[in-house]
Homo-oligomer: A and B are copies of this chain.
Amino acid sequence: MAEMREPTFLVLTVLADGPRHGYGIIRDVAELSGDRVKLLPGTLYAALDRLVAQGLVEHVRDEIAEGRLRRYYSLTGAGLEALRAETARLRQLATVAEARLRAVNPRLA
Protein backbone atom coordinates (compact mmCIF):
# COMPACT_ATOMS: atom_id res chain seq x y z
CA MET A 1 0.00 0.00 0.00
CA ALA A 2 1.37 3.38 -1.04
CA GLU A 3 1.81 6.33 1.22
CA MET A 4 -1.34 7.62 2.88
CA ARG A 5 -1.86 11.33 3.60
CA GLU A 6 -3.53 12.80 6.63
CA PRO A 7 -6.99 13.47 5.11
CA THR A 8 -7.21 9.90 3.79
CA PHE A 9 -6.04 8.47 7.10
CA LEU A 10 -8.68 10.43 8.99
CA VAL A 11 -11.42 9.27 6.63
CA LEU A 12 -10.51 5.65 7.40
CA THR A 13 -10.29 6.42 11.10
CA VAL A 14 -13.78 7.90 11.14
CA LEU A 15 -15.18 4.96 9.19
CA ALA A 16 -13.67 2.56 11.72
CA ASP A 17 -16.48 3.66 14.03
CA GLY A 18 -19.14 2.63 11.52
CA PRO A 19 -20.73 3.69 8.21
CA ARG A 20 -20.92 7.39 7.43
CA HIS A 21 -22.02 9.57 4.56
CA GLY A 22 -19.71 12.15 3.01
CA TYR A 23 -20.79 15.21 4.88
CA GLY A 24 -20.85 13.23 8.12
CA ILE A 25 -17.24 12.28 7.51
CA ILE A 26 -16.31 15.93 7.04
CA ARG A 27 -17.93 16.79 10.37
CA ASP A 28 -16.38 13.86 12.23
CA VAL A 29 -12.91 14.51 10.85
CA ALA A 30 -13.11 18.12 12.01
CA GLU A 31 -14.23 16.99 15.45
CA LEU A 32 -11.69 14.16 15.67
CA SER A 33 -8.84 16.50 14.79
CA GLY A 34 -9.95 19.31 17.07
CA ASP A 35 -10.90 21.43 14.04
CA ARG A 36 -7.36 21.22 12.74
CA VAL A 37 -8.36 19.30 9.61
CA LYS A 38 -11.38 20.54 7.69
CA LEU A 39 -11.88 18.34 4.65
CA LEU A 40 -12.77 20.16 1.45
CA PRO A 41 -15.39 18.52 -0.74
CA GLY A 42 -12.90 17.98 -3.55
CA THR A 43 -10.55 16.19 -1.18
CA LEU A 44 -13.21 14.03 0.41
CA TYR A 45 -15.12 12.81 -2.62
CA ALA A 46 -11.95 12.14 -4.56
CA ALA A 47 -10.62 10.19 -1.58
CA LEU A 48 -13.81 8.14 -1.30
CA ASP A 49 -13.73 7.24 -5.01
CA ARG A 50 -10.08 6.30 -4.71
CA LEU A 51 -10.58 4.22 -1.55
CA VAL A 52 -13.50 2.37 -3.13
CA ALA A 53 -11.38 1.66 -6.22
CA GLN A 54 -8.65 0.34 -3.89
CA GLY A 55 -11.12 -1.86 -2.02
CA LEU A 56 -10.53 -0.18 1.34
CA VAL A 57 -13.99 1.34 1.50
CA GLU A 58 -17.31 0.29 0.03
CA HIS A 59 -20.48 2.14 -0.80
CA VAL A 60 -23.07 0.38 1.35
CA ARG A 61 -26.35 2.20 0.79
CA ASP A 62 -28.16 5.41 -0.06
CA GLU A 63 -30.64 7.20 2.13
CA ILE A 64 -32.88 10.20 1.70
CA ALA A 65 -32.97 12.17 4.92
CA GLU A 66 -34.85 15.45 5.10
CA GLY A 67 -35.10 15.63 1.36
CA ARG A 68 -31.35 15.27 0.82
CA LEU A 69 -29.47 12.31 -0.57
CA ARG A 70 -26.96 10.60 1.68
CA ARG A 71 -24.47 8.12 0.29
CA TYR A 72 -23.15 5.84 3.01
CA TYR A 73 -19.69 4.31 3.01
CA SER A 74 -18.15 1.60 5.17
CA LEU A 75 -14.69 0.21 5.86
CA THR A 76 -13.91 -3.14 4.26
CA GLY A 77 -11.74 -5.79 5.90
CA ALA A 78 -8.84 -4.61 3.76
CA GLY A 79 -9.60 -1.05 4.83
CA LEU A 80 -9.42 -2.02 8.48
CA GLU A 81 -6.11 -3.76 7.90
CA ALA A 82 -4.77 -0.74 6.01
CA LEU A 83 -5.79 1.53 8.88
CA ARG A 84 -4.06 -0.75 11.38
CA ALA A 85 -0.86 -0.78 9.31
CA GLU A 86 -0.94 2.96 8.78
CA THR A 87 -1.53 3.59 12.48
CA ALA A 88 1.41 1.39 13.42
CA ARG A 89 3.59 3.27 10.95
CA LEU A 90 2.59 6.64 12.41
CA ARG A 91 3.20 5.39 15.93
CA GLN A 92 6.65 4.16 14.95
CA LEU A 93 7.52 7.46 13.29
CA ALA A 94 6.39 9.43 16.32
CA THR A 95 8.33 7.11 18.64
CA VAL A 96 11.67 7.36 16.85
CA ALA A 97 11.34 11.12 16.43
CA GLU A 98 10.49 11.54 20.10
CA ALA A 99 13.58 9.58 21.06
CA ARG A 100 15.74 11.89 18.97
CA LEU A 101 14.03 14.98 20.36
CA ARG A 102 14.63 13.83 23.92
CA ALA A 103 18.30 13.39 23.08
CA VAL A 104 18.46 16.89 21.62
CA ASN A 105 17.02 18.78 24.54
CA PRO A 106 19.87 18.27 27.04
CA ARG A 107 22.38 19.68 24.58
CA LEU A 108 20.44 22.92 24.38
CA ALA A 109 19.44 23.26 28.01
Chain A residues near B (Cβ < 8 Å): 3, 5-6, 9-10, 13, 16-17, 32-33, 80, 83-84, 86-87, 90-91, 93-94, 96-98, 100-101, 103-104
Interface of A is mostly: helix
Known: A17-B103, A101-B83. A93 touches B96 (CB 8 A): no
**Inter-subunit contact B97/A9 (CB<8 Å):** yes
Chain B residue numbers with a CB within 8 Å of A90 are 90-91, 93-94, 97
- Protomer copies: 2
Measured between beta carbons, the chain B residues less than 8 angstroms from A87 are: 93-94, 97-98, 101
In-complex Cβ contact of A3 among B5, B10, B93, B98 (8 A): B5
Residues in B with CB closer than 8 Å to A103 are 16-17
